[in-house]
Amino acid sequence: MEIEASSLYIGNKCFQSRLLVGTGKYKNQSEMHECLIKSKCEIVTVAIRRIQSADFSHKGLIEAINWKKFWMLPNTAGCENAEEAVRIAKMGRELAKIAGQEENNFIKLEVIPDRRYLLPDPFGTLKAAEQLVKEGFEVLPYINADPLLAKRLEEIGCSSVMPLGSAIGSAQGILNESNIQIIIENAKVPVIIDAGIGVPSDAAKAMEMGADAVLINSAIALAKDPNAMAEAMHQGVEAGYKAFLAGRLEKSVKANPSSPISGISNSTLEIKDNGK
Catalytic residues: 108
pLDDT digits (tens, 9 = 90+) for 213-260: 999 999 999 999 999 999 999 999 999 999 999 998 888 888 887 776
What is d(CA 36, CA 256) in angstroms, rounded to the nearest whole number?
43
Strand ranges in 135-253 using DSSP code E only, listed in sequence order: 138-143, 162-163, 192-194, 213-216
Q: Are 183 and 150 in contact (CB under 8 A)?
A: yes
pLDDT digits (tens, 9 = 90+) for 139-194: 999 999 999 999 999 999 999 999 999 988 898 999 989 999 999 999 999 999 99
Helix-helix angle 226-246:200-208, to 10 degrees? 20
Architecture in CATH for domain 17-246: Alpha-Beta Barrel (3.20)
Show me where the domains of the chain are located: 17-246
Per residue in 160-192, is it b (16+ CB within 10 Å) or e — as a string?
A: bbbbbbbebbbbebbebeebbbbbbeebebbbb
Q: What pLDDT, on a 0 to 100 scale, did the predictor assign at position 156?
A: 97
Q: Are 114 and 134 in contact (CB under 8 A)?
A: no
pLDDT bin (cut points 50, 70, 90) of residue 54 is low
Q: Are 243 and 207 in contact (CB under 8 A)?
A: yes
Q: Are 107 and 49 in contact (CB under 8 A)?
A: no
pTM value is 0.88
pLDDT digits (tens, 9 = 90+) for 10-49: 999 999 999 999 999 999 989 999 999 999 999 999 999 7
